[in-house]
Chains A and B, each alone.
Chain A
Amino acid sequence: MTAALTARALSKRYGRTTALEGVDLEVAEGELVGLLGPNGAGKSTLVKIACGLVRPTGGQAQVAGAPAGSRAARASTGYLAELFRFPSWASAEEVLALHQRLARSDGGAKEREALLAQVGLAGEGDRRMETMSKGMQQRLGIAQALVGGPRLVLLDEPTSALDPGGRRTVRDLLVGLRERGVGVLLNSHLLSEIELVCDRVVIIDGGRVVTEGRPQDLTAPGGVEIETSEGVRRLPDARRDDVPRIVRELVAGGTEVYGVRVVTGTLEDAYLAAVVGRDT
C-alpha cells in the first residue's frame, strides 16, 4: 500500500537558517500522526513542503506516491494552514464551491452540505466570513481541507481557535477520517488533543526528529502516590504491579492506607523530556 505521505532526508534552509535537517517521516493511509515541537522547530515548514507551498533544499517528499508539490500530489492533499483567511465577502457555500471547482470535485451541493455538517456548521452555508467568529472560520477551514476527499490531510493548528465543543467535533472528524483510510498529519501545540486521537507522535526540534512512537509508548510510568495516616507518600520508582506489596507492607507496619494512585506520565512529560531535555 502506498503511504499517504513519505519524507526522506528532507531538509530546508532559509538563507543561513536551517529549518529542517534530514527529516524522515511516514504517514500511512488511515493513520493519524501528531507532529509536535517547540516554536521554530520546523513543523510548519515540513507541512508546507508536503503540500507544495515550500520547496525543499534537499531530500524528497511524496504524497500518495507523487512528488510533493506536483499536480498529482496536490490533487490528493487537503490542507489547513495555521494562518489562513477566506475572503471576507464570501459565504461559506461560496468558499467551498470555489474549492470544489479547483479540486475538481463533482460532489456539488451534497458534498458542501455534508462537509458543513461534519464541522458543525450545518445551516450556516449562506453566512459570510466577515460575520463568522474565528472558531467558525477554523471549522470552515477544516471543511475546505476535506473537499474532494483527499488521501492526505495536513492540519496546521486546526483547533487553536476552537472551544472545547469544537475540539471534540474535530476529534470525532479525525477519527472518521482514519476510518475512511485518510492519512492525517496533525500539527498542534495541544498535546492533550494529540494524545487523545493520534496513532503516532513525531516530535521535532531544531529541524530534526528527536523522538517518535505511539503515545502510550512515549508516556513513561510516573510512580505511585499513597495517601496514608502519615501523609501522602510518593514512590517515583514504583509501578502498578508493586502496589499490592507496598500496601501490605504499610498495613503490616501499622500505617492506615486511605488511597492509592498509580501515576502515569503524560505526553507532555515525554515532550518536555525530548525537547527541553535536549536544550538543557
Chain B
Amino acid sequence: MSDAITIARHALREAIRRRVLLVVGLLTAAFLGLYALAAFEAFDSLDRTSTGGIPIDERALTGGTLLGLAMFVALFLAVVLAVFLTLDAVRGDAERGLLQPLVVRPVGRTTLLAGRLLAASTVCASYVVIVFLLAALITKAAGDFTPSSLVVPAAGLALGVVTVVAVSLLGTTVLSTTANGIAVFMVFATGLAAGLLGQIGDGLDVDSLTQASSIISWVVPFEALYQNGLHALTSDIGGATGVIVQLGPFGGASSVGAAIWPWAVAWSAAVMALAALAFKRRDL
C-alpha cells in the first residue's frame, strides 16, 4: 500500500508542478462565476415577472434546473480532468521512456496502476464534489433553493468519475494516448446519449428506448449514477414542477435503485483487474 501511495504522491506532484490543477482551478472559478451570474439573474427575473397564478413552483423549477446543469458541467469537467490525468499513464509513459525506470523497481505493475488510480480518483472525486457543492451554495444564495439531497448526487458524481478513471486506465494499457483519449470520451458520450435516449423514450412512451437507455446506463455506470443523482436532487418536488424538473436538463433523471452503488464499485474493480492483467502481460 505504501508503494501505491508513493506512486500516487508522485502523480499528484506531477499534476501540481505541471500546473494542471492551477489551470483547472482557474477555469472552474470562471465557470462558477458565470454560474453565479446566471443563477442570480435567473432568480432575480423570477421575482420581477412572477404572476403567482401559474401552478408551477418556478423557484424550484429554476433551482432544480440550474443545479442539474451545474451537476452536468461538474461531471463533464471532472471527466476531462480524469482523462487528462490518466490517458497516457501506461502506454504513453512507456513510449516516452518515463515508465520503465519505475517498472523495474520491486513495486509491481498492479501497484503502479493502483497508485495512478488512487491519485486520479482522489483529485477528480474531490474536484467534482467541491464544484457541485459550491454550485449548490451559489444556488442557495441566489434563490434560496435547497435541493432534496446533496449527498446522493455528490456521492454519485464522485463514484461516477472513479469509474471513468478506471476506464481510462484500462484504455492506457492497450491504446496509444490519442486513441485512449478519444475512446474514453466516446464511452462518456455513449452514456450521455443513453440518458437522452431514455428521456425521449419516457417522453414518447417508447418502452424499447427506455429499456435500451437503462441497459446502457448500467453498462457505463457513471450515467446511472448521474441519473440517480439528478433524480435525488429534486425528488421531493412534486406536481407539474416535479415532472418537468425530473426530465433533467442533460439526460433523464431517474432513481436506479440502491444496487447501483455496489455495482459501480464492483464494475470499477473489474475494469481495474482487467487493466492490471493487460499491463502485466505487456512487454515494455
Contacts and interface: CB of A to CB of B under 8 A. Distances in A.
A51 B105 CA distance: 9
Interface stretch (B92-100, B167-175, B270-278): B92-100
Contact of B104 (A53, A86, A90): A53
A71 interface: yes
Interface string A246-274: 00000000000000000000000000000
Interface string B157-188: 00000000000000000000000000000000
Contacts of B105: 74, 99, 102-103
B100 A53 contact: yes
A43 interface: no
A79 B101 contact: yes
Contact of A102 (B6, B14, B96, B284): B6
B274 to A, nearest CB: 18
B109 to A, nearest CB: 9
B155 to A, nearest CB: 33
From B3, B98, B104, B281, name the one whose CB has the most chain A CB atoms within 10 angstroms. Answer: B104
Contacts of A141: 101
Given A54-B283, A55-B283, A85 B104 contact: no
B106 A99 contact: no
A117 interface: no
Contacts of B284: 48, 53-54
B193 to A, nearest CB: 37
Interface string B83-113: 0000000000000111011111111100000
Nearest to A79: B104
A102 to B, nearest CB: 4
A99 B14 contact: no
Given A71-B108, A72-B106, A74-B107, 20 more contacts: A14-B283, A52-B103, A54-B283, A55-B283, A71-B106, A75-B106, A79-B100, A79-B101, A83-B97, A84-B101, A85-B96, A85-B98, A86-B98, A89-B14, A89-B17, A89-B18, A101-B3, A102-B102, A102-B107, A103-B105
Interface of B: 3, 6, 10, 13-14, 17-18, 96-98, 100-108, 281, 283-284
